[in-house]
Structure 1
Amino acid sequence: MLQPATLALGANVTVYLLLFMFCLLLLWAWTRHGESSRRESSRLPPGPAPLPLIGNLHQIRPSNFLKSLKTLSEKYGPVFTVHLGFRRAVVLWGYDAVKEALVDQGEAFSGRGTVATFGSVLKDHGVNFSEGTRWKELRRFSVLTMGNLGVGKRSIKEKIREEAQHLIDELKSTGELPFDPAFHISNAVANVTCSVLFGNRFDYQDKEFHDLLRMMNVLFVESSSSFAQLYTMFTNIMDHLPGPHQKACQALRNIQTFCKRRVEINQKTFDPSDPRDFIDHFLIKMEKEKDNPSTEYFMKNLVCTILGLFIGGSETVSITIRHALLFFLKYPEIEEKILAEIDCVIGRARIPAIEDKSNMPYTDAVIHEIQRFTDLVPLGVPHRVLEDTSFRGFLLPKGTEIYPILSSVHRDPTQFKDPETFDPGHFLDENGKFKKSNAFMPFSAGKRNCTGESMAKMELFIYITAILQSFKLVLHGDPKDIDVRPRMNGFLHIPVNYELKVIPR
């Protein structure tokens, strides 16, 4: 029988051998990566020299990714290269560089880069995280179908107004007691998206709906953590490690399961002569192209498309409204100016309509400034060049990942007179009229701008004005303690948790 010391020695040898093999594997991977990088480095924009295995991680803090990139831009200019672990990316900093890529050369830059949390589940399916022919076909179908279902027409406007009334009634039920508004707002915004995609809204007390919104909150909170940044840098390794990134992936899988169930419900009652929602329209297209071997209309693309549209059209708008209410609590004088405009244009007897916006330039400017200042998606969603691309004297090889930093656009001093200050005047001319800015890109820009942008703009205006029309907002706590800085600084800028009271006017 082997002695304990002998067994321990054997175990140690095994551990050392495994560590040795692991180091050899990393060295081999880095060598291959380095050879490829050296062949292409002379053609890429400048940037800091990477270290083996970690790239530029010693210069880029996942906990403050944006600030780290800003520091590098000050040294290397508006277009520079960074190595995120084994992943190499070209960063675009400032309005001119981002606009030149996404708008002027939009076709070449229309590929989709890697966001590990979403990519691990969607796997290049659906409209949001695919590229090339698949993305073009699904985007064209999505825009056309949402238009046919009323986005941009009277029907969707009325659905938003009806949901705004439900929201007002729900807020009244709080009885002037302090509460966290996040859940109520998420209900209202998600219900409009559900009406378009699934053909019905949910009662605010529906348990399945509650669970769905909770999963969406988990998804975005964990996707904005430092672990999620590391997950994108070291995907193959962190796929096998525990952490918050795994919670985000599981939440996304749960939402995907919900979407599958909704499709199955539609299939049981499907009538191609009377399509009720986005799912029905996709099922009709699937039937028409069932004999086409290269069709993009199949079940995986259907589920991933409605999943992406649901996520993109729900929680992002909800988070923006939560930011807005926090700004009104901090700056009550802005709230009062909006209310004066509401009283003049709308009055108190009816729910606001999107047609009112053209007569409310100050309100419109405030909403734009909230979106600019809060930088909901500060880093933008990564792009990828689809072909070898000449850009500002550099040659970006096909497949190069691109980080168009939207925060750098919204903070560009050449575009906004005082970008670090919250000032609705950024969107007003000398006569107090609303002033557009090409550097306003909360929905990104170019060919891959947000599919649901028009609906999101309607929701922001109607919900925000309806809330201020109906209630006086009162902070539960000391107003001087209000901190409008986000508590999460990753994929999304998520506001701090707060409680308020709403007093009927």
Structure 2
Amino acid sequence: MRKLGLGKKGIEHRIKEEAQQLVETFAQANGQPLDPSLPITNSLCNVISLLTFGQRFSPEDEDFQKLVKAFDFVLKLVGTFSHILYELFPWLMEHLTGPHKKALSSVEIASLFAKKEIEKHKEYQTLHDPQDFIDFYLPEMEKTTNDPNSTYNEENLAHCIMEFFATGTETTATTLQWALLLMATHPDIQEKVHKEMEDVFGSSCLTYYQDHKKLPYTKAVIHEIQRSNYVFLCGIPRQTEKDVNMQGFHIPKGTLIVPDLHSVLLDPEQWETPEKFNPNHFLDMDGRFMAREEFLAFGAGDRVCVGEQLARVELFIFFTSLLRAFTFQLPAGVKELSLVPALGITTHPQPYKLCAIPRCST
């Protein structure tokens, strides 16, 4: 990931291009009500496509849309009753119809898409100038061809690609959907974000690595979106690699641990108003951004989210690009939008529409 530019300015240019494409897509609605979920997902999928395949896909590309819809269906099914039954009784569910059958078909669609791109890269392999994840992976396969214990193979490569898309798209897309919903329902906060950007930068372009520290309020809002609407029901499961004694409890080696990060992100002993959307949680008395140890949206320790840096850059660039270009409002006649999450593997908003009104200064 570091070789692909993660943590460097090089990747930011590509993210800004996708953010601009999203701005143009929203502008085409001419201020009429729109559902932002699919355009946001398309844009973030293309960021992963650039890292993985070295290219972006047009929203009109049929194969790309099949890929997007396949991941969307699978991720919405995970955690449902049908998925639980499949995990408990796979031998039985194989003989029954239901959404799990479509999910298996969707996984196959994604796998075939990945393998098709792998074959293209093998045909036009750029060993001396790798451009994407597949380019870096293929030489490792060649180095370990004669190693029977090597895990470098095409099947694992396809699985890595699928995991990139599943985890690298869904979480950030869901966070941005919550972001726009919260801005539309908190117009005062939305205007403070816009005013801060205008006061500090005017019409100048923003960059993450140079500018995010200059926008303490905006940064606090993004963190509060992640805290108040944490996108997972629980943390990613882990397994203990040795016996552990913690606060009087014995946890044997090999135990599956599912961390409850909500218990920290919504802890009333740590946050002034844990159940409310309140950017002041991340600001000190002088309005400076204040990092919080209790902010565990990306996990913690050696197994912290591998895509944390990418997600931070994406959220900042997409969020600021959209709020500089538009004022987000509820559609005419709509007094409020539901803030109750729809539950799945992620806690995404209920389907909604809002109006992206172009700002005069855009």
TM-score normalised by the chain length of structure 2: 0.93
Per-residue deviation, 1:232: 4.4
Please tell me whether the aligned partners of residues 232 and 346 of structure 2 are also in contact (alpha carbons under 8 angstroms).
Answer: yes
Please tell me whether the aligned partners of residues 223 and 245 of structure 1 are also in contact (alpha carbons under 8 angstroms).
Answer: no
In structure 2, do the counterparts of structure 1 residues 181 and 266 end up closer, same or farther at CA, with 3 Å as the change threshold?
A: same
Q: Distance in 2 between matches of 1:234 and 1:376?
A: 28
Per-residue deviation, 1:477: 4.6
Please tell me whether the aligned partners of residues 165 and 351 of structure 1 are also in contact (alpha carbons under 8 angstroms).
Answer: no
Residue of structure 1 aligned with 2:51, choices 186, 192, 196? 196
Which residue number corresponds to residue 314 of structure 2? 459
Q: Distance in 2 between matches of 1:313 and 1:384?
A: 22
Correspondence 1:216 to 2:75? no
Per-residue deviation, 1:351: 5.2
Per-residue deviation, 1:371: 0.6
AA aligned opposite 1:500 = L
Q: Distance in 2 between matches of 1:199 and 1:183?
A: 22
TM-score normalised by the chain length of structure 1: 0.68
Q: Deviations along 1:147-203, whole A, 9 cap, x unmatched?
A: 111111111011111211111122212222221111111111111111111101112
Q: Distance in 1 between matches of 2:212 and 2:95?
A: 50
Q: Distance in 1 between matches of 2:238 and 2:260?
A: 11
Which residue number corresponds to residue 330 of structure 2? 475
Q: Deviations along 1:350-402, whole A, 9 cap, x unmatched?
A: 35544221011111111111111112012112222223333332322332211
Q: Distance in 1 between matches of 2:187 and 2:330?
A: 11
Per-residue deviation, 1:415: 1.9
Q: Distance in 1 between matches of 2:60 and 2:312?
A: 26
Q: Deviations along 1:48-72, whole A, 9 cap, x unmatched?
A: xxxxxxxxxxxxxxxxxxxxxxxxx
Please tell me whether the aligned partners of residues 239 and 256 of structure 2 are also in contact (alpha carbons under 8 angstroms).
Answer: yes
Which structure has the larger Rg over C-alpha atoms?
Answer: 1
In structure 2, do the counterparts of structure 1 residues 407 and 246 end up closer, same or farther at CA, with 3 Å as the change threshold?
A: farther
Q: Distance in 2 between matches of 1:373 and 1:431?
A: 23
Matching of residues 60-79 of structure 1 within 5 Å: none
AA aligned opposite 1:217 = D
Q: Distance in 1 between matches of 2:37 and 2:155?
A: 31
Please tell me whether the aligned partners of residues 365 and 424 of structure 1 are also in contact (alpha carbons under 8 angstroms).
Answer: yes
What percentage of residue pairs aligned between the two structures are identical?
A: 38
Q: Deviations along 1:68-112, whole A, 9 cap, x unmatched?
A: xxxxxxxxxxxxxxxxxxxxxxxxxxxxxxxxxxxxxxxxxxxxx
Residue of structure 2 aligned with 1:368, choices 198, 223, 243? 223
Q: Distance in 2 between matches of 1:464 and 1:490?
A: 24
Q: Distance in 2 between matches of 1:479 and 1:413?
A: 32
Correspondence 1:498 to 2:356? no
Structure 1: tracts of 5 or more residues without a match: 1-145
Q: Secondary structure at the match of 2:275?
A: coil
Matching of residues 85-164 of structure 1 within 5 Å: 146-164=1-19
Q: Secondary structure at the match of 2:33?
A: coil
Q: Distance in 2 between matches of 1:234 and 1:444?
A: 31
Q: Secondary structure at the match of 1:150?
A: coil
AA aligned opposite 2:323 = L
Matching of residues 297-312 of structure 1 within 5 Å: 297-312=152-167
In structure 2, do the counterparts of structure 1 residues 238 and 436 end up closer, same or farther at CA, with 3 Å as the change threshold?
A: farther
Residue of structure 2 aligned with 1:450, choices 299, 305, 310? 305
AA aligned opposite 1:276 = Q
